[in-house]
Chain A
């Protein structure tokens, strides 16, 4: 038996499951685990003879075929050529609003995060936006965000074909119901029960007493993460890749 699956490896594997069926997935800056999850789906599909997955990693030379500059991602999204993307968020609330700007009052936020990046746009246009926030706590998953970088739901006067698909943390996986504008607990990761999730989530959601445990990757998938995926990550995320378990 190899070393047990780490929390991060479980999240990488879960991301690959959430991406199943996409033709083109893009990953933004500073997102090593989403990048790894997208690379894992590509590798698994290739291994199993399934359809090719186009992976566009922003900031990568090797894993990015755009020739039109950074605008091309946004143009692709607007045309429906992009199926999935990831957003983080210092705060995420129960209506799927994300805050990438900071806590407290704008503009002199006492805690300031980098900024909204492409969120205010891509959230409207990419069908499967996966919200990824490693920290599962009352300060990250809040009832109402302090600043809306990108809104979770929109009325019908605004063109929108994209939005939140799922929320993944280091403790649980939620899906998002766009009609209701609410999250639903799908599973808790090993080591967490539904009461832990309820106690550390600042918003209300469906299926509170969910007993499902998030499935772990099998040995072959874990070996793929620790081998090929770790190597592919090195170009853009040398520090992250260096801290992953693996040979050498």
Chain B
């Protein structure tokens, strides 16, 4: 079909009106335009910008300098500090959250549907509050005066008041505790859904063999929910690598950069110091690391996850 003149094109369109191709493109048109302008273009633009020293009028091409600057090892290179902080935060928060969520899900299981949904709602509730609201509240819970709630709690055990967020010793720990207590709702609900999907015959067979409760959990439940665990692990790690809100709102990365994470570092480089090129380079490195980690996790768990 080669419509060379305008009127012929119009009739052709009418002719192709029933064609699935045309309908497909009509249906995805709006979505694809939005996708191209607000996702695809920014991604390529980020790669392009990462090779430049960005200036609003006429950026200067500097090749790989942004990447070299990011990765050049020195004591004062914040990137390594931020990467280490992110890694520590992830290594503690993600597995602990998974373990807590799994245990809670198993414990919720024996109750009636009604009780189950009450518990689910209770654990899920912090998840619907905004990060800003939660940060503001936790900021006060960590108040460093002896009247701060956590300090009051410590004084019950005879431990002196701590400087929670403003001491290098406890700042990271404080952010971890907060994450552990406010972000397990979705994990618990996902685990419960997975647990309810396990066929009863597995347990009946295990019972004939005289399996104990812990044996059932260890040899039936845990292997069977492995795809769920993998899914939560991957999404958890991806989310944790990008963590920004808590550090930004509660510590600003301090004290002494002890809570500066990659997400905050990129934000600061871009919007505090205006180093757009450097920020883009670091964001792309982060994306690459996340991609490699996800592939590695899929390999390690050795299962194909069904979406």
Say if A and B assemble together: no
A residues contacting B by CB (< 8 A) are: none
